[in-house]
Amino acid sequence: MAREERKKEDLYIKEKRRATNFFITGSNVKGGATKTTISSSVLIEMSESFSKGEHLTDNHSREMNGGLLYMLQEMQSDIDDVYNEVSASSFQASFFPFATLDTGSIGIISSSLIPNKDNTYDLGSSDKNWNDLHSSGRLIYDIKTFGAGDDSPSVSGGTIFKTANTTKATGVITNFDNGVSGQQITILVSDNFTDFIHSTKKLILNGAANWTAAALGDVITFTHNGSMFVETSRSDNT
């Protein structure tokens, strides 16, 4: 049974903070302050008092609020840490093309790993390869179709392809474009008009001879040796 994507309700997200604001500001507050609201002018006075450091330099104020000031300072350190983490994550997500995990491993993924665009991103690269791939499921490839009459079709980003030629005169394949070293491709002959042309500079075929696929249903495979594609097997299913 396929796993569904995680939904918002599956995540532990607090809809609101547990705490409330110390106060709110307003205008025309009677006496300058109530138990929930202070006037804008009082807020300005508080800001000026903080700028002058009166909460520290005034002995009476410091002694009365020492414990509270201490805990606020500890909270400020925690807030700074959170701010730095969030800022760094936001910067990396917006500036770098992909995130980097410098240490550690992704040990457990509890849902599907799905890219946000189809046929766009790679897993690894030509010079940074993954080692072994352990899977209990199947590797399923999309089947891409060559354009009719294309004698050098592109095999970029694909593994399995099928032909779609419509005439014998244009159903000739002499090469494959955009191949990379080590790439393996399988060609499903899906018409009655496809020929493969041997060339020591472009496409190496078994027996150094051209091959005319007998009929719909034949299969031929190639591996790129770093310079060109070389036939590795064929299946005549006539």
220 forms beta bridges with: 187, 234
Task: Specify the DSSP element, H or E, that contains 231.
Answer: strand 229-235
Q: Do 228 and 147 reside in the same domain of the chain? A: yes
Mean of all residue pLDDT scores within the chain:
85
Q: Are residues 152 and 228 in the same domain?
A: yes
Residue 14 lies in a domain: no
pLDDT at residue 99 greater than cutoff 80: no
Residues 70 and 151 in one domain: no
Strand order from edge to edge, sheet including 160-162: 143-145, 160-162, 184-188, 219-224, 229-235, 203-204
Domain C-terminal end among 63, 79, 95: 95
Q: Is residue 25 part of a domain?
A: yes
Six-digit token pair at 199? 């060339």
Q: Is residue 51 part of a domain?
A: yes
- Say if 165 falls within a structural domain: yes
Q: Which whole number is the average pLDDT over 177-194?
A: 95
Q: Is the pLDDT of residue 229 over 80?
A: yes
At 123 the three-state DSSP class reads coil
CATH number for 211:
2.60.120
Where in the sequence is the domain holding 158, given as residue range(s)? Answer: 143-235
Domain assignment of residue 123, yes or no: no
Say which range, 115-124, 179-188, 223-232, has the weakest mean pLDDT.
Answer: 115-124
Count of structural domains, the chain: 2
Q: pTM of this prediction? A: 0.56
- Tens-digit pLDDT profile for residues 128-154: 888 888 888 888 889 999 999 999 999
